[in-house]
Structure formats: C-alpha cells, structure tokens
Amino acid sequence: MKTCGFWPRPQSLRGRFTIANVLFLAVGLLLAAAASITATYMVLVGQIDDSLKSSQSSLQQASLTKGGLGQLCALAGLLQSGRAGSAIAEAFAQDLLIVVDQHGKPALVCGTDITPVSGERDQLAAAVPDPARLARSGDAATVESGDKEYRVVAVRLPDGTIVVKGIRMSGVKRAIGKLLIVEAGIGAVLLGLLATGSLTAARRRLSPLEDMVETASAIAEGDLSRRIGTARHGSSEVEQLSSALNAMLQQIEAALTESERATSQQRQFLADASHELRTPLASVRGYLQLYEKGMLDAEEKDRALTRVSAEALRMSRLVDELLALARLDDRPALTFGPVDLSCLVRDAAADLAAQQPERPVTLLLPDGPDGPDGPGGPGGPDCLGGPPLYALGDEAGLRQVVGNLLANVRVHTPADSPVTVEVDSCGDGELRLRISDCGPGLSEQDAARAFDRFFRADPERARETGGAGLGMSIVQALVHAHHGTVALSTAPGAGLTVRVTLPTAMSPVPVPVPLPVA
C-alpha cells in the first residue's frame, strides 16, 4: 500500500473500491448527522422559545406590577409553613425570573427569607446587555454567563418595571451531546459493516479478474489450451469480457497451431521437393560426367541419353505440378460455366481402360450401371448413354481432378483391381462424384496426410510406386476453388473411396471466382 500525502493508497482494486465506498458513506453520515443535530437543536430551542413566549404573554396579560409581584411573594411567605407555600417558594427560587430596576440591576422583589437574589440571577442579569431593548423587540435571545447559556425574554410591566425570564440551555446541550454520541457510534458500526461487506463483495465480484490473470500467466508459460472459467459471482460485463477473451484465445491458439502446421508443412515441402529434384539431377549429372570422360561405349551412350531424357521428363512433370500449385496459391480467376460431369467421367474411364485393359471399370450413372463394354462404358461412344449432369466449374480444372483421381488408382492399385466411378445428383444443388477401388487402402495416419504436398504412403518414395505426391494436393485445391468438398474413406486392405461434391450449374456461384489458398 502506497501513501499519497496523508492518505493510504492501496494498489489492489478491492482496496480502492472499499476505501471509496467507506469515504462516500462517511461523508453521507457526516452530512446526515449535521442535519439531524441542527434540526434537533432547532426543535429543542423552538420548544424553549414557545415556553418563554407563553410566560411572556401571561405576564403581559396579567397586568402585574412590581408591587403585585411582591404581594405574590408575601402570599408565598404566608403559605411557607404549609406544603403549598413550600412549593410556591421553591418555584420562585428555581425559576429564573428577574426583576430589573431602573439601573439595570436585579431588584429584590421578595423578602430575603423567601426568594433572595441568587448569584446565578445576578450573573444572568449582568449577561443581558440591554433588557429594555430586548423587551421592546419581544424576541427570545441567547446569552452566555460564564460557561452557561440561557435563553431569555424580557417583559415591560405597566409600571415600567422590566421582568427578565430565562431558561437554562444545559438540557439542550446534554441532548445534543447524547445524540452526537449515538450517531457517532452508529456511524462507526455502519462504516465497519460497509468496509467488511465491500471487501467481501469486491473479492467475490473481482475473482474472475484473478482467474483471467492466472489464465494469462499460464498461456504466457506455454499452456495455449488454458481458458477462463465461468464466473459464479461475476456480473454480465465480466461474463462478456470472459467470453470475448476466450474467443480471442481460441483464435490465437488456432492461428499459432495453423502457423506451426504451415511451418512444418513448409519444412516438409522443402525436404520433399529437394529429395524429388535431387534424385533425377544426380542421375543426369552422373551420366553427363561419364559421357564427358568418354567412359561410355556407343550402346551405353544411347542408354545414358535415354535415362537423361527420362529424368528430364520426370523433372519437367514435377516442375509443372509445382507451377500448378503455385498458380492455385496465387488464386487466379477461373472461367466457370456448365460442364457435363458425366462426359468427363466417361472420357477419363476410357483413358484408364486404354492404359490398363485388364482392369474392370464400372460406371454408375443416373441411367443405370454400365460395364466396360456397355453403351455408356469406356468402350462405347463418347458422351452417350445417359442424361448430362452439369456442374458449374472450369472444364480443364475438373478434367484434371478426375484424371488425377483415376491416375492415383492406376498407380497405387494392382492392374486387375476393379474400380467403380459413380456420378449422381444429391438433390440439394450439388453433384457427387465417387471413385472407389479395391486396392490396399491407407492407414489412419496416412489418410490424415493424403492431401499434404509431396506425401506418399511409400516411405522409400520409390519411383516405381508413384509420382512426387502432388496429385491429391492439386485435387483438393481445385475442388475448393469450385466451392466443393473432397473427402476420403479407407482402411488397410479395404480399398480407398474418394468423394467429391460440386455445385450444379444452377447454383448461384459468382463468375469468375478467385481460388482459395491451397
């Protein structure tokens, strides 16, 4: 806790809230106490004034003179031996009724044996500055005599005598003092209760902020999955802040995870690309060194040139695929239009049948199943045998999607393994393309990475078992560019099924559409 001047300044928000509440209540209690004491004082003084005014009015209406007052004293003396006389004499003795003579000094109205002029009356008469003026005004006034205060009024009798009537203010002071003590005690209790309640309430209400601090510290230490819990005693603003921070933390975690994944993919991409390019380059360089040193005869030279040409063609295909992915990353605009997907499937199936005549190829189109030799099969006329199924997309891109999927089947499954190609309408503005084979399938780990660039299930990456591993990446990028989806289902020994959904030609897709980042 720091000190600012004479006042402590706590560092915690709970302490500041508590001190602020206590200060506000203390100011309110002080104002209320001042108002209460002032009102009480005015009420009590008003009652004294009413009593004095009543006595003043009675004396004026009685038309007494100094002599009449003496007669009353004499009557009190005659009755002094009795009980009533004692009461009258005691009343004269206790009542601050002073008769002032023409010199402004108290006169002895009654006999010295009954009501002598006491020292207090003498002091009160001396404290009244101008009894005649007070009598003319008719108002009550407060005078001080020593350490005592009196409330007095003055009455001029018909014979010119001035009578001063006073009442002590000691009772008012005692009442005000007791009231002040009571209010001070009650105020102290209220301030203590408020301080305790404010500190407890602040601790409960601000506990979510402590959870936020703990969560932030845990995240700073590396626990990105940490989230702010639901506050039991928090306000709606704290709940909104917690929800907003959790959403922000979720996005940050997703962004960091995606960044790490992209970095890992980038490293893997560079390693795979380097490996794919290094092998043919090493072969080309080796053969060229042998050729330059004259270590090859005529037959070996022809074989070396054939190998160099094959490796150069392999590198050319790899570079073409990399350029295709780079163009997709740059999101070029594609020309969209109605494309007969069934016709593309028939053409691709005919190409597969020509390359592998022994492979059974089955087409499932809306008009029914077609075998390899049927009217709609690969051996029949092109684009005949059923109604067209139009997808909205780029024809060259869709041909590459179908061609890459069937090339995957051709390379990674036995030549006599059956393959089924199905095209149908989903009925919700989408077309579905499904290609199923009966090959060895993929494990769960390999299936999760099937669309990664340069990924191949063969750990040795032999050239006899496939290409560079970019075909499925190109398929995914092209399908996403057509606002479609691609997914696969597989298991070891259960074959592989790839499902592609594309929008129909009636789907409201803008033309042209930029490609998303693959």
Beta strand 361-365 with 419-425 is: parallel
Give the C-alpha separation, 494 to 341, whole Å.
27
% of the chain with per-residue pLDDT over 90: 6
Sign of CA pseudo-dihedral 299, 302, 304, 306: negative
Sheet holding 430-437, edge to edge: 368-370, 361-365, 419-425, 430-437, 496-503, 485-490
* Domains within the chain, CATH numbers bracketed: 2-179 (no CATH), 222-330 (1.10.287.130), 333-503 (3.30.565.10)
pLDDT tens digits, 386-440: 577 888 888 888 888 898 889 888 888 888 889 999 998 877 788 899 999 888 8
What is the Cβ-side half-sphere exposure of residue 248, based on CA atoms within 13 angstroms? Answer: 11
What is the per-residue pLDDT for 416?
87
Contact 248, 215 (CB under 8 A): no
Give the C-alpha separation, 517 to 512, whole Å. 16
Distance, CA of 254 to chain centre = 19
Spatial distance between the Cα atoms of 473 and 19, rounded to a whole number of angstroms? 65
Looking at residue 31, its pLDDT comes to: 92
SS3 228: coil
- Give the pair of three-digit tokens for residue 57: 């009015």
At what angle are helices 207-220 and 170-205 packed, to 10 degrees?
30
- Write the burial class of residue 471 (CB in 10 Å: 0-12 exposed, 13-18 middle, 19+ buried): buried
Q: Quick check: 195 and 131 in contact, CB under 8 A?
A: no
Contact predicate 398/391, CB 8 Å = yes
* Stated pTM of the model: 0.45
pLDDT reported for residue 460 = 53
3-state helix/strand/coil string of 431-484: EEEEEEECCCCCCHHHHHCCCCCCCCCCCCCCHHHCCCCCHHHHHHHHHHHCCC
Collapse the DSSP code of 333 into the 3-class scheme (helix H, G, I; strand E, B; otherwise coil) and give the result. Answer: strand
Q: What pLDDT score was predicted for residue 102?
A: 60
Low-confidence ranges of the chain (pLDDT < 70): 1-11, 62-95, 101-118, 231-235, 269, 272, 275, 321, 324-334, 367-386, 454-469, 506-518
User: Which run of H or of E encompasses 13?
Assistant: helix 13-62
**Helix pair angle (66-78, 83-94), 10° resolution:** 140
Distance, CA of 495 to CA of 507 (rounded, Å): 33
What is the edge-to-edge ordering of all strands in the sheet holding 162-168? 96-100, 162-168, 148-156, 141-145
DSSP state of 10: -
